Structure 1
Amino acid sequence: MSSEKKETKKEIIHQKLLELQSEARIVRKIVFIIAIALFLIVGGVTVGGYFYIKSALKPVDPDSKTEKIIEIPIGSSVSGIAQILEDNGIIKDARVFKYYVKLKNETGFMAGDYKLKPSMSIPEIIERLKTGKAMKKVVLKITIPEGKQLKEIASIIAEKTNKKEEEVFKKLNDKSFIKAMMAKYPDILTNDILNKNVKYPLEGYLFPATYYFYKENPTVEEIATEMIDKTKSVLQEYAGQIKEKRYSVHQLLTMASLIEEEATKKADRDRIASVFYNRIKSGMPLQTDPTVLYAKGKHQERVLYEDLEVDSPYNTYKHKGLPPGPIANAGTMSIEAALNPEKTDFLYFLATADGDVIFTKTLSEHNKAKAEHITKN
């Protein structure tokens, strides 16, 4: 090969090396620019988010003297209240208000008509809603505790309204009223409540809470409607979990009612829930005493062996799976336990006279616990 050709080949190689080096520098610059851009974007979003939230926590208009009458309906969830306040220009952002309330663990908001100003801070608004400084005077207050059955709820309503218990109970089971409620709350009151084996359609659907009424002599229908509305607002908070776990509302409230009736003040509802789910998965009957008492329609201190023979679809000693419907109303703790049971291998539990609950994995362990903690007949 001539020296001239060698020189030409060297020049070509050198030229290609220069081009590759140039391309590498360009690539590095592009990567660097992209990295800087991403850093600025992330930083900008973070800083922007911080200042946005900081601004959202401030009054809408610090100088405003305008008073607005804001109605907070009975049964409103925190999300619902936040949206009402945003829609009326009292707060800047419903989501920020909602998360602020959760972070501060604020509870006890009361229904009513409130005079609120855009100049009020979020803590002032929360305090106003908690103290119940409403425009209207509460005429009637009805408190429904957790774990109450429809008959007991009818008794409470009757006592507070000076109505006859039989009339209240009859109205709560009135077919036309139930149909009207089903039409109003189709996502909550489904055809499941009309199952022929369901004892009382609205059992478990009247949420345990304190209800305030601002007019004389509200009807039974109006009172029950507020309670069903509260059930709807509470369940809305768990809509995502209910859908994810593919539960129906009826199944969820039924399971929650069993947990509520079995739980004691010291009991771990999540663990009780795990026992029920483990039994269902294993093909075992739930064998929970409260369903036997519900089937019998009366309260007893203890369930006797002869009681276990009661002929009823609610008797979970005779029938596997969930009973036809709820056996009482359930609070949020039991609903959350039904949605998020603890992961255990327990198949049995036993409540002692002291309110403690002993969980066991085998029948022999369970029988041993019974012998130690339960007085024989």
Structure 2
Amino acid sequence: MNIKRILLTLVLLGLLVGGIFAYMVYGAFFTPNTAFKNAEVFVFIRTDTTFSEVKRSLEPLIKDIDAFESAANKKGYSQNIKAGRYRIGKGMNNNEIINSLRVGNVPVKVAFNNQETLADLAGRISVQIEADSTSLLNAFNNKEFLSEHQIDLENSLALYVPNSYEFFWNTDAEAFRSRMLKEYNRFWSATRKEKAKALGLSPNEVVTLASIVHKETAKIDERPKVAGLYLNRLRTGMLLQADPTVIYAIKRETGNFDTIIKRVLYKDLELASPYNTYKNSGLPPGPITMPDISAVDAVLSPEKHDYFYMVANVENFGYHMFAKNLAQHGRNKVQYIRWINAQKIVR
């Protein structure tokens, strides 16, 4: 009889202990453990982050950080931290949070356009992914990479086709650069290459001309006409005489790309620079900015016409007045000079 009681007591104790253990396990793994009110939050975990650093970043978001730590230890997460951007949904339990931090790396949208230099591009990208601007710029300027892919430094900006792309946030500089090379090769399809060849231009030369067109007009619908004008000048051996190239040459000469120049002066046209198309024939050595895709396609599909000259249209701002000869251009230019003087724009 005593033995039966002892056995029954042991069984009951075992059930009690098991119940307590099960309750503790359930509490550690399956009880909702978020402390924020939004539907979701995103956590950014840097490369080589320690578990202690992960805990610190999660503390404001989690009700019971000790329970989270216990669950993380049991699931082996605390010894296997992975960098990335991770989603935590409202009401998630520790098990779900840890599973998300393990395999739920959520991509980010990386967008860029219109940067004038590789340094500008590096700065723009560095605020969107983990790689810092220094590592990105070093990757962009890497001589071995440029030599391997037959890219000269003057044209290297053309490699980065402006658009919106998906990247994992923890992408490093070399991986970003490699992806951009793939996107560049994808962009330059057989059709685009054939159009460039028909114009007598290489893809890099198309981008260089597109950068001038891009700077010359912000109006997408006018870009094919502007592209046609510059192509007319190239075909006849006429100097491009593009003011945006002079502005770029000034910025390059001074090293200050934040300079705002609203008016090109006659003295500026004498600047000794390979980018000054008032002094040098043909295209400059490389793009003067990162052109929109619309500008590239405008060069590849230009409007066919007999225009060789243009000046800003003061009656339709943003657009230009076009001329076939110097006499007509002179008449158009008088209106522009009168207007710019009235605005007292001296630089």
TM-score (norm 1): 0.54
- What's the CA shift for 1:343? 1.6
Cα separation, 1, equivalents of 2:305 and 2:192 = 23
> Structure 1: 5+ residue runs without aligned partners?
1-134, 183-189
Cα separation, 1, equivalents of 2:119 and 2:130 = 16
SS at match of 2:298: helix
- 1:156 aligned to 2:124? yes
- 1:348 aligned to 2:301? no
Q: Which residue of 2 aligns with 1:177?
A: 145
1:217-236 equivalent positions in 2, closer than 5 A: 217-236=170-189
SS at match of 1:271: helix
Q: Which residue of 2 aligns with 1:358?
A: 321
Aligned with 2:158 (options 157, 179, 204): 204
Cα separation, 2, equivalents of 1:367 and 1:326 = 29
- 1:258 aligned to 2:188? no
- What's the CA shift for 1:146? 4.3
Q: Which residue of 2 aligns with 1:332?
A: 293
Amino acid of the residue matched to residue 313 of structure 1?
Answer: P
Seq. identity, %: 31
TM-score (norm 2): 0.59
Cα separation, 2, equivalents of 1:352 and 1:280 = 24
Cα separation, 1, equivalents of 2:128 and 2:116 = 16
Cα separation, 2, equivalents of 1:334 and 1:205 = 15
- What's the CA shift for 1:164? 4.9
Q: Which residue of 1 aligns with 2:260?
A: 300
Cα separation, 1, equivalents of 2:239 and 2:165 = 37
Aligned with 1:319 (options 265, 275, 280): 280
Runs (4 or more) in structure 1 with deviation over 6 Å come to none
1:200–1:161 Cα change, 3 Å? farther
- 1:375 aligned to 2:340? yes
CA contact (8 A) 1:149 1:204 kept: no
1:170–1:139 Cα change, 3 Å? same
Cα separation, 2, equivalents of 1:347 and 1:244 = 20
SS at match of 1:160: coil
- What's the CA shift for 1:169? 2.5
> Structure 2: 5+ residue runs without aligned partners?
1-102
Cα separation, 2, equivalents of 1:310 and 1:204 = 25
- What's the CA shift for 1:314? 1.2
1:127-172 Cα deviation digits (max 9, x unpaired)? xxxxxxxx96534322112465433212201222465544432331
Cα separation, 1, equivalents of 2:134 and 2:241 = 32
Amino acid of the residue matched to residue 260 of structure 2?
Answer: Q
CA contact (8 A) 2:313 2:319 kept: yes
1:361–1:222 Cα change, 3 Å? same
Cα separation, 2, equivalents of 1:346 and 1:169 = 40
Amino acid of the residue matched to residue 341 of structure 1?
Answer: P
1:148-201 Cα deviation digits (max 9, x unpaired)? 543321220122246554443233112123234x1xxxxxxx4xx43xxxx634
The CA RMSD measured in Å over matched residues stands at: 2.5
Q: Which residue of 2 aligns with 1:270?
A: 224
SS at match of 2:340: coil
1:12-31 equivalent positions in 2, closer than 5 A: none
- What's the CA shift for 1:346? 0.8
SS at match of 2:321: strand
1:325–1:208 Cα change, 3 Å? same
CA contact (8 A) 2:139 2:177 kept: no
1:20-74 Cα deviation digits (max 9, x unpaired)? xxxxxxxxxxxxxxxxxxxxxxxxxxxxxxxxxxxxxxxxxxxxxxxxxxxxxxx
Cα separation, 1, equivalents of 2:109 and 2:210 = 26
Q: Which residue of 1 aligns with 2:233?
A: 279
CA contact (8 A) 2:224 2:303 kept: yes
